[in-house]
Amino acid sequence: MIDMQRERARQVLDAASLGRLDRRRFIALSMAVGLVGIVGKEAVAQAAAAGAKQSSNRASLAKAYDYVIVGAGPAGCVLARRLVDHGATVLLIEAGGTDQQSSITEPSVWFTNIGGANDWGRTTVAQPQLDNRELLIGTGKVLGGGSSINGCVWSRGSPHDFDTWAYEGCHGWSFAEVLPVYRHIENWEGGASEWRGAGGPISIRRPAHPHPAAVAWVTAAKQMGLPINEDVNGQRLDGAGLCNLTVNADGTRSSAVRGYLNPVLNRRQLTVLLNTLVTRLTFEGRRCTGVQIADGTATREVRAIQEVIVTAGGIGSPHLLLRSGIGPAADLKRLGLDVVTDLPGVGQNFQDHPLLQGVVLEYRGDMPKPPLGSNAAEATLFHRSRADLPGPDLQPVLMELPVITPAIRKKYGNVPQNAFTLAPGLVRPASRGSVTLAGADPNAAPIVDAAFLREEEDVRAAMLATELCRELGRQKAFDDIRLREVMPGKPLDREELRDFVRRSATSYFHPAGTCRMGTSHLCVVDPELRVRGVEGLRVCDSSVMPTISTGNTCAPTLVIAEKAAALLTAANRSAGARDFAAPAVQTGDIHAIGS
């Protein structure tokens, strides 16, 4: 259960650390919430010092930094932390605002962020294969990105994912090589083992008080003869279990901001800019020298002494590269853009996990609301649509509320509010889409073609996933809480099932693959995440995945960022570059508050 008084105190500290509160306002809020009594004088002093440092840094923005990071999503927060720890000066730029919002800190209402002020609001072009619908692809426009607005699910993916990357030329990315990185990140409630880590920056736990529907889900899977996993990130992925949640012990969201960024906001080497758009990358010849930024009042350029690191996500990263002259030369010239390097793969290979909304069961009696800190999605299932597959390609998930698409509502009618959803999901899609430019204007939204269910292989898998969810919902385990299946609520023949799948498909909000890593001419970055054909530029986020990971993408994105940080610091040492300044912690004089 979330201690709201302590959480309010934490939000005040976070706002102060970012320099969002002037001294007078900080003192007033500190006294109002009893800050010193809750968190102690030292924490208050550190927050005040961090805020003073961030305010000062922003007021006197330097002309150059060792590293300029574009996007303060999960990868950007990791890289900022690790590079500052290494002594580098870092400018971290975020187009959105602060994460100090109840819809972010409280995991059970995460879905209210999608399509709201913290979301870029990006939609696909009309998808002919999905009843000509345009789909929202939720992407965070806020400090922490997807780790702040999306569901709090920790899913490492299949070992086969990473071994395939390595087999295709991405040396250093096999599962054996990324497993230690996962363990380094994790603070797993079960403690450290050869598979799990403890003491890391991201808190991970099972649901403390699982919803009755989550308990029934796991029991129903067992009744179907499916494997049950006590830990869904353990040695076996196939099977059902309660989700691993990125939730702190107090029930609040464990985001990349709180886990990585906030502890170093008092370092003089770090400057965080919010509500600032990077309009383009700057170049001298083929060397990326920095970025052009706009904060609504002015436009200016900032240089990168070492490198620019793009961490803007599966849609934002290719969008920035394209409008900076990196991409298919003919397309860029047609839009009047100067070509820096001809990279035809930029924006191609788009992948996301299709999620179907969905198989809905009406609850018997009054359905309990998802408890605070619950994520409202607490149970999942990994399954193979064919026995010959090397790993699971389906991931249905429980949603503890009724969710259907407008297209389903139009044909089948509405569903009662006292209901929950067994949502079929695909996590190894065969379909590939694209992200392209609508024009040279940096404020123009990119053209996103998700290509969901474009390949017949994906349609068949989605149909099987739907039948799997319906069968799960019919098990005795649900008898005490299921009044009836209300969606689709009737037998479907093959063509009707196909139509249901196409009308119910939407996004899992996991865009990836558009700046793919590898060695072929269609790869955008090499295995060390350096953009091909230029110098001083890397991309380090979900966009570099050659194939999307099997499951929610936040966890592997953090791994990508941790490995990128290790590559950067190793490259700096091997090149014999100047020593970075030692980290400095300043405390200020705020100790007088509450004394």
pLDDT digits (tens, 9 = 90+) for 300-342: 999 999 999 999 999 999 999 999 999 999 999 999 999 999 9
Share of the chain above pLDDT 90, in %: 81
| Same domain assignment for residues 55 and 80 | no
| Same domain assignment for residues 243 and 270 | yes
| Same domain assignment for residues 167 and 40 | no
Q: Does a structural domain hold residue 580? A: no
Active-site residue (options: 160, 211, 353, 510): 510
Q: Mind listing the pLDDT tens digit for each residue in 214-267?
A: 999 999 999 999 999 999 999 999 999 999 999 999 999 999 999 999 999 999
Rg for the chain, CA atoms, rounded: 24
Share of the chain above pLDDT 70, in %: 91
* Position with higher pLDDT, 208 vs 345: 345
Domain membership of residue 498 as a residue range: 67-84+87-574
Q: Mind listing the pLDDT tens digit for each residue in 121-135?
A: 999 999 999 999 999
| Same domain assignment for residues 137 and 22 | no
Cα dist from 586 to 46, 238, 273, 590, whole Å: 8, 49, 20, 11
Q: Does a structural domain hold residue 584? A: no
Q: Mind listing the pLDDT tens digit for each residue in 402-456?
A: 999 999 999 999 999 999 999 999 999 999 999 999 998 988 999 999 999 999 9
Q: Does a structural domain hold residue 94? A: yes
Tokens coding 174: 């096999």
| Same domain assignment for residues 516 and 570 | yes
Q: Does a structural domain hold residue 592? A: no
Nearest to 355 by CA among 496, 544, 161, 150: 150
In the residue annotation, 510 being an active-site residue is answered as yes
Question: Domains in the chain: how many in total?
Answer: 2
Q: Span 5-30, mean pLDDT?
A: 70
| Same domain assignment for residues 186 and 215 | yes
| Same domain assignment for residues 561 and 516 | yes
| Same domain assignment for residues 358 and 461 | yes
Q: Does a structural domain hold residue 259? A: yes
| Same domain assignment for residues 198 and 246 | yes
pLDDT at 56: 74
Angle at 115 between CA 215 and CA 244, to 5 degrees: 30
pLDDT at 18: 76
Q: Are strands 326-327 and 341-342 parallel, antiparallel or unpaired?
A: parallel
Q: What is the rounded distance in angstroms from the CA atom of residue 215 to the CA atom of residue 133?
A: 34
Q: Mind listing the pLDDT tens digit for each residue in 535-570?
A: 999 999 999 999 999 999 999 999 999 999 999 998
pLDDT at 369: 86
| Same domain assignment for residues 178 and 195 | yes
Q: Does a structural domain hold residue 585? A: no
With a cut of 60, say whether residue 584 has pLDDT above it: no
Q: Mind listing the pLDDT tens digit for each residue in 39-89?
A: 667 766 777 777 777 777 787 789 999 999 999 999 999 999 999 999 999
| Same domain assignment for residues 372 and 226 | yes
Q: Does a structural domain hold residue 37? A: yes
CA torsion sign for 173, 177, 183, 185 is negative
| Same domain assignment for residues 446 and 419 | yes
Q: Does a structural domain hold residue 76? A: yes
With a cut of 70, say whether residue 146 has pLDDT above it: yes
